[in-house]
Chains A and B, each alone.
Chain A
């Protein structure tokens, strides 16, 4: 069609196509990812290079995504579960085995993520970004918090928050007591609950993303926070805020790209995963979203302030204190849910 002559039929056809997106002949890939978890240019660049379309949807919590794909008929091709959900999703028969021949970029992954705990052979999941939980605090605090146990101290009363997340709060309490963040034993969990209840005396609130503003404004002296939120807060007041990976140990997690078994575009999905594994693509997202990438080859491409930051990429001895979240058996999960309700209503 010549651009100068736009007859009515062509116009109608074009607008109908634009409205329904049904006439676009390009293959379509359906990607369901966490919100704010990809650099803005990645999807358009991928579409252009491969001549495809991407329907990109976002979710806020893993449960939201799991609920959607559980039917096996959700219409998504690629999803990004946290590491502890990879095995349950695989067991439910929802994941497609990754074809390593199509994913040469897997070699770019950091050694830590070449054979991770939850998927030794990377048969089902491609580690994407990783994170951890720690403490953000005001530098004026003396003594500065170094461990979870410091979040029980009286001077913090009314000016300290914990995450509004049962696994994180129980996790911190369990670590304080020297147990695993994935504890299933009723006695260990009951002791952790008691710690959380005691802590409520000094606690200001259970908050997630809101801590960022309140730390920057100075309302809070210390907060349990995800590393990503912590970094956003620190960037808002770099001279005042500091982050620490607690002494007793802390939870770490990785979000992974997985291809759903229901996907009819397996080849394209693999191409997308391999595209994400390109060092420059991984680096762009890590910089734009302030996340820590699992991609070792992307590290040298990062700005030095990020690359050498002990918060983004802690040294090996610090990382060794991290403990992966693992799937919790049903009975223990039930107990944890109940304890969380008890903590909240205490």
Chain B
């Protein structure tokens, strides 16, 4: 009935064309996303200016340089560190999301607490970690005072510190989509599992986890991608002793003043991430994860 009315209305007075509604967002996307991307793509095909900037000589050299084993090793390292960080986020984030989803009236409060760190700049929070972890920092001071150690532990400026920084920074991106799927879980399924004699662990493994797959995939994507491109954390928590792909890109635009290579690197990184996303969306659960994102 109501459909009939709507149909009648649209016949008598046609809706404004969809293009009119789409125009603002299309324009915004074109101006602020596609144009800069096109500029980066353009830069990646030019030559390095002596003091930054680009020279108008077309070359594919920047892309050839990508196949240098030196950069391959840096990429592998980045993928490795990002993978470990993502895995840790998942292992830590899942129980947390489960806990929040089951905490009744306090849910809102706990969710607030998860996003609370975003109220402060990531840079400042990373510096705070440095103050905690350095030789004369809180952790080492307390452990020394408690007589547990005699020499300060090397907590800062190594890969473990980088992973800690990444896990800390991106954990909320794992918890939130996980929470959203767990929340939507049909409780009767859990009850059915219990009625049929499954232990809580068995229910978790055979019912909850498979049903949470979209949330897991979404969380993994949201954590892995920024970890892969991270540059602040490896710089500050890793003490600049190792570099990830994000640092390599950043170097090209600062000290190395090689904008075209930096542009080629960032496009290559983007292509890699796109390829990963597409491969993922083909798999089962991928589509639902996209809906969640």
Contact = CB atoms under 8 A, between A and B. Distances in A.
Interface of A: 61, 63-64, 66-67, 70, 85, 88-89, 92, 158-159, 161, 164-166, 200, 203-207, 210, 214, 217-219, 330, 333-334, 337-338, 340-342, 344-345
B240 interface: yes
* B contact patch SS: loop
Interface string B4-25: 0000000000000000000000
Contacts of B242: 344-345
A204 B71 CA distance: 24
Contacts of B77: 345
A206 B70 CA distance: 20
B243 A205 contact: no
Interface stretch (B166-174, B205-213, B248-256): B248-256
A200 B243 CA distance: 14
B239 A204 contact: yes
A345 B254 contact: no
19 contacts: A61-B254, A61-B255, A63-B255, A67-B52, A89-B51, A200-B241, A204-B239, A205-B156, A205-B238, A214-B134, A217-B135, A219-B136, A337-B251, A337-B255, A337-B256, A340-B251, A340-B255, A344-B241, A345-B73
Interface residues of B, number: 33
Contacts of A344: 240-243, 247
A334 B252 CA distance: 11
B134 A63 contact: no
A206 B240 contact: yes
Nearest to B240: A206
A166 B130 CA distance: 23
A219 B53 contact: no
B12 to A, nearest CB: 49
A13 B149 CA distance: 68
A153 to B, nearest CB: 18
Contacts of A166: 255-256
B50 A330 contact: yes
B56 to A, nearest CB: 14
